[in-house]
Amino acid sequence: MIKGLLTAAVLFMLPAFAFAETMYITDRIEASVRSGKGLAAGSKVLSMVRTGDTVEVLLTEDDYAQVRLANGTEGWLHTRYLTAAQPMDSEKLKEKNKSAQNELARLREEKADLETLRSQQALKMKEDAAALEELKAGCADYIKVRAEIEKAQQEVAAHKEIIAQLTKENETLAQNTRLMWFIFGAAAVLCGFIIGMWLQGLRNRRKPRISF
């Protein structure tokens, strides 16, 4: 009989142990663990729990959970105060917030650097575009000047040909002139010689002949 009662008691307690779950008191609160559900008649405050405290959930009914505290106290607590994830304490939250603020400051500084870089790149692109337009204008002027130089070179070449032709004609004319003057000179000398011979003949004829 006693053995049967012990067995029944063990079987009755098994579900509570089988379904027990460790949970935590949720963010920044202080809640009371009562002997009954909520403010029901006769419900007394057994203990107080704070954010981060660990409780063992023995049973859940509606919006309330029967919990066991670390000191062994058992009572009822509203489920809104429970969370499966361990909440961060204030120091960890401050550290996390500080880390987030530092990251935000870094991102803002990086954004400012990117804005400055973008402005510099835009200015550089504008300067490059102006330089390209200037280069295009310079190339157009260069092509125009080169065409004028080539035209002038062609005209100079044509003038050189004309000058060469005129020089050749002038040399031919000079040679002909020298030849004509030579002929005139030779003719004059010959005429002078002939006239001299003729005059000599006349003198010889006029001389008296002496007879012995």
Structure tokens at 157: 């070449």
Sheet with 64-68, side-by-side order of all strands? 45-50, 30-34, 74-78, 64-68, 54-61, 21-25, 82-83
**What is the structure's pLDDT at 177?**
84
Residue 24: its pLDDT value, please?
Answer: 66
Encoding tokens for residue 21?
């779950």
Per-residue model confidence (pLDDT) at position 121? 92
Q: How many CB atoms lie within 10 A of CB 34?
A: 20
Please state, in angstroms and rounded to a whole number, the distance separating the CA atoms of residues 60 and 86.
20
8 Å CB contact between 29 and 51: yes
0.95 surpassed by pTM? no
**Neighbour tally for 58: CB within 10 Å:** 16
What parts of the chain have a pLDDT lower than 70? 1-20, 24-29, 41, 87-94, 206-212
pLDDT at 1: 42
**How much is the pLDDT for 209?**
56
Domain assignments of the chain as residue spans, ordered by start? 2-87
Which is nearest to 21 in space by CA: 67, 87, 64, 61? Answer: 67
Asked if 82 and 55 touch (Cβ cutoff 8 Å), the reply is yes
Say if residues 48 and 33 touch (Cβ distance below 8 Å): yes
pLDDT at res. 151: 87
The first and second tokens of residue 186, run together, are: 């030779």
**2-87 is a CATH 3.30.420.40 domain:** no
What gap in Å lies between CA 18 and CA 45, rounded to an integer? 27
> What's the confidence (pLDDT) of residue 184?
81
Q: Could you read off the pLDDT of 46-89 as tens digits, one per residue?
A: 898 888 888 999 999 888 999 999 999 999 999 988 888 776 66
